[in-house]
């Protein structure tokens, strides 16, 4: 009898699942997400290409998680043919494979970009033998430069974590949060408040940060007025929401961090992540991809504005991998309409663009591997 009930239950569940799957295939909801119908565009400034020195004093590295040419071009079309990114004159292409996989994840991709070494998928700031590798942020800090991290995802998520933490798994969020306390990072702004406070080990890292003279704030409207000192901006319990929820958190956080870090006379290194182009790719949503490409582009605009006036700042924009196997089937530069298509719900192995502006930008051209990017930055900023 029990067996019969179980069989019936299994049958019903599989029936429901396949009906749901058919809905998914037949409904237009999917197609709606695949077409961004266009909307208001923003004005883009052209910045001077005159710089003070051959080597930069400051480096701002942008990682647009999941971006390759289709995402970039979707953004370009949606903003009717112009982006802050079109200020970049020096461009290259980077391969992204990890130590053990042709297709990387964001942990191995982030670690390649933070250390110049390949590691296994899932690993954060450690090599294939799980040994910690010093990151470019840690090296900059040792040299007396100011350092910062900004992200729309949780600050403990794979991409920002790769620059400051050393853990064998990207899922060890609480251990990653604790690694922030082992450093003297000056500014970090992102989500992830709960990984600092709701912890199995009972530690309250917000209290510990406060004891280390960090100002810990959760509201971006408070954060944006902070001009100096150490800052931990934890603007969401976990990840910051989509654009309709988080607003201009990323461009504002980028400007705020630059303001604070530029107080250091020796210079600074910061990494800014546009986290959610990747999530748009995973969701097969052109709308989500466009939203986050344009948001990240506006954050890049804030960095370029500072760099153009400062003249000693190198801005590098790249990605950890492509997401969604995206392509573009239709578009319109007048209306901003763009219709995407996706070939997978995961990542792909296709190369990603590398773009550079500022002193040393000419180093970032041609074919390279993702591990070459931090090596070039290290040579320019730290000098060995």
Work out whether 278 is an interface residue with Zn ion (CB under 5 A): yes
Closer residue to Mg ion, CB minimum distance, 65 or 139: 65
Closer residue to Mg ion, CB minimum distance, 65 or 174: 65
Of 159-167, 251-259, 281-289, 296-304, the segment contacting Mg ion by CB under 5 A is 159-167
Closer residue to Zn ion, CB minimum distance, 283 or 382: 283
Strands 187-191 and 230-234: parallel
Of 147-155, 164-172, 278-286, 336-344, the segment contacting Zn ion by CB under 5 A is 278-286
Partner that binds at residue 159, options Zn ion, Mg ion, none, CB closer than 5 to 8 Å by kind: Mg ion
Work out whether 275 is an interface residue with Mg ion (CB under 5 A): yes
Count of residues that bind Mg ion according to CB under 5 A:
4
Closest C-alpha among 246, 244, 181, 241 to residue 216: 181
Residue 323 DSSP label: E
Partner that binds at residue 372, options Mg ion, Zn ion, none, CB closer than 5 to 8 Å by kind: none
**Least distance in Å: CB of 159 to Mg ion?**
3
**Least distance in Å: CB of 184 to Zn ion?**
30
**Least distance in Å: CB of 110 to Mg ion?**
7
Closer residue to Mg ion, CB minimum distance, 65 or 322: 65
Angle at 167 between CA 165 and CA 168, to 5 degrees: 150
Q: Which residues touch 8 (CB under 8 Å, ≥6 apart)?
A: none
Q: Which residue is nearest to Zn ion (CB)?
A: 278
Closer residue to Zn ion, CB minimum distance, 138 or 278: 278
Structure tokens at 139: 């090296």
**Least distance in Å: CB of 279 to Zn ion?**
7
The whole-angstrom separation of Cα 71 and Cα 292 is: 9
Q: Which residue is nearest to Mg ion (CB)?
A: 159
Partner that binds at residue 275, options Mg ion, Zn ion, none, CB closer than 5 to 8 Å by kind: Mg ion
Angle between helices 286-310 and 69-78 (to 10 degrees): 80
**Least distance in Å: CB of 99 to Mg ion?**
19
Residue 66 DSSP label: B
Angle at 369 between CA 363 and CA 371, to 5 degrees: 85
Of 121-129, 151-159, 253-261, 276-284, the segment contacting Zn ion by CB under 5 A is 276-284
**Least distance in Å: CB of 63 to Mg ion?**
7
Single out the catalytic residue among 68, 98, 106, 151: 106
Q: How is 118-152 classified by DSSP, letter by letter?
A: ---TT-BSB-TTS-B---HHHHHHHTT-EEEEEEE
Of 58, 87, 96, 106, the one binding Mg ion by CB under 5 A: 106
Answer whether 314's CB lies under 8 Å from 380's CB: yes
Closer residue to Mg ion, CB minimum distance, 289 or 337: 289
Angle at 303 between CA 212 and CA 251, to 5 degrees: 75
Active-site residue, 169 included: no
Answer whether 43's CB lies under 8 Å from 298's CB: no
What mask, x for binding Mg ion by CB under 5 A, covers residues 48 to 67?
-----------------x--
- Tally Cβ neighbours within 10 Å of residue 328: 16
Structure tokens at 381: 């900023």
State how far Cα 300 lies from the chain centre: 12
Answer whether 257's CB lies under 8 Å from 303's CB: no
Residues recognised as catalytic: 106
**Residues in touch with Zn ion (CB under 5 A):** 278
**Residues in touch with Mg ion (CB under 5 A):** 65, 106, 159, 275
């Amino acid at each position: 009898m029990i067996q019969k009930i179980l069989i019936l239950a299994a049958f019903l569940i599989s029936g429901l699942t396949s009906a749901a799957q058919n809905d998914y295939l037949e409904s237009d909801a999917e197609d709606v997400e695949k077409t961004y119908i266009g909307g208001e565009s923003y004005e883009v400034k052209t910045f001077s290409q005159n710089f003070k020195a051959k080597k930069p004093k400051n480096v701002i590295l942008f990682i647009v998680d999941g971006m390759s040419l289709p995402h970039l071009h979707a953004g370009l079309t949606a903003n009717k043919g112009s982006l802050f990114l079109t200020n970049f004159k020096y461009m290259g292409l980077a391969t992204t494979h990890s130590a053990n996989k042709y297709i990387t994840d964001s942990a191995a991709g982030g670690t390649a970009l933070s250390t110049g070494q390949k590691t296994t998928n899932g690993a954060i700031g450690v090599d294939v033998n799980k040994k910690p590798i010093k990151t470019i942020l840690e090296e900059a800090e040792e040299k007396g430069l100011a350092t910062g991290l900004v992200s729309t995802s949780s600050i403990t998520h794979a991409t920002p974590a790769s620059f400051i933490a050393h853990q064998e798994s990207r899922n060890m969020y609480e251990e990653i949060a604790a690694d922030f306390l082992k450093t003297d990072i000056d500014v970090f702004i992102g989500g992830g408040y709960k990984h600092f406070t709701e912890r199995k080990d009972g530690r309250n890292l917000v209290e510990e940060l406060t004891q280390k003279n960090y100002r810990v704030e959760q509201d971006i409207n408070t954060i944006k007025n902070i001009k100096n000192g150490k800052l931990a901006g934890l603007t969401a319990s976990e990840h910051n929401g989509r654009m309709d929820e988080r607003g201009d958190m990323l461009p504002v956080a980028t400007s705020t961090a630059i303001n604070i870090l530029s107080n250091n006379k020796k210079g600074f290194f910061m990494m800014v992540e546009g986290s959610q182009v990747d999530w748009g790719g995973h969701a097969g949503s052109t709308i989500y991809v466009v939203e986050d490409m344009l948001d990240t582009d506006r954050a890049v605009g804030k960095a370029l504005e500072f760099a153009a006036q400062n003249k000693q700042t190198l801005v590098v924009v790249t990605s950890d991998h492509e997401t969604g196997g995206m392509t573009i089937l239709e578009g319109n530069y007048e209306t901003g309409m763009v219709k995407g298509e996706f070939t997978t719900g995961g990542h792909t192995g296709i190369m990603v663009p590398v773009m550079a502006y500022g002193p040393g930008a000419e180093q970032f051209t041609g074919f390279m591997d993702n591990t070459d990017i931090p090596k070039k930055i290290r040579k320019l900023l730290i000098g060995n």
